[in-house]
Amino acid sequence: MCADTVRPAWRRWDTDYPATYRWLVVNQTPAAYPHASLTHEIIGGFYDVYNTLGAGFREAVYERALAIALADRRLRVERQVPVTVRFRGRRAGLFRADLIVEQTVLLELKALPALQPAHVAQVLNALRATGLHLGLLLNFGPEPQVKRLILSR
């Protein structure tokens, strides 16, 4: 893999990369995972927010900033979406999904030193509860972290 194919956190997606590279990444991404171009846009918005704000704020600040960044990219974003959790056909509780983009991708935001396996489990459970199949776990910690999670049937 060429060093130019890795996207460092400090480079802006829309200005620091040549248009041909951006086209290749968006249009010729392997079809190994669903909604590749949408998740690339979301991850680009994540890095825009991270590069501007850095680490150290609370999750709510990053949530609002990411919603603004994604709306600027003309993506439909829903914040704090209430989701009913069911157990044996009955309502067991309610939780709120941080962000849902284009009614397709669930975003779980963290502002922690590092992600833990419990955070992955939280996203997978949220995907089950929402009926969505694709989630991104985004950490605005000292080092930015992105995990793409696909719920298999």
**pLDDT one-digit tens code per residue, 77-119:** 999 999 888 888 888 888 899 999 999 999 999 999 998 999 9
Architecture per CATH, domain 3-150, reads as 3-Layer(aba) Sandwich (3.40)
Please answer whether residues 57 and 111 qualify as being in contact, where contact means their C-beta atoms are separated by less than 8 angstroms: yes
- Is 17:53 a contact under the CB 8 Å cutoff? no
State the CB neighbour count (10 A cutoff) for residue 51. 14
Q: Would strands 105-110 and 134-140 be described as parallel, antiparallel, or unpaired?
A: parallel
Query: Global pTM?
Result: 0.75
Residue ranges per domain, the chain? 3-150
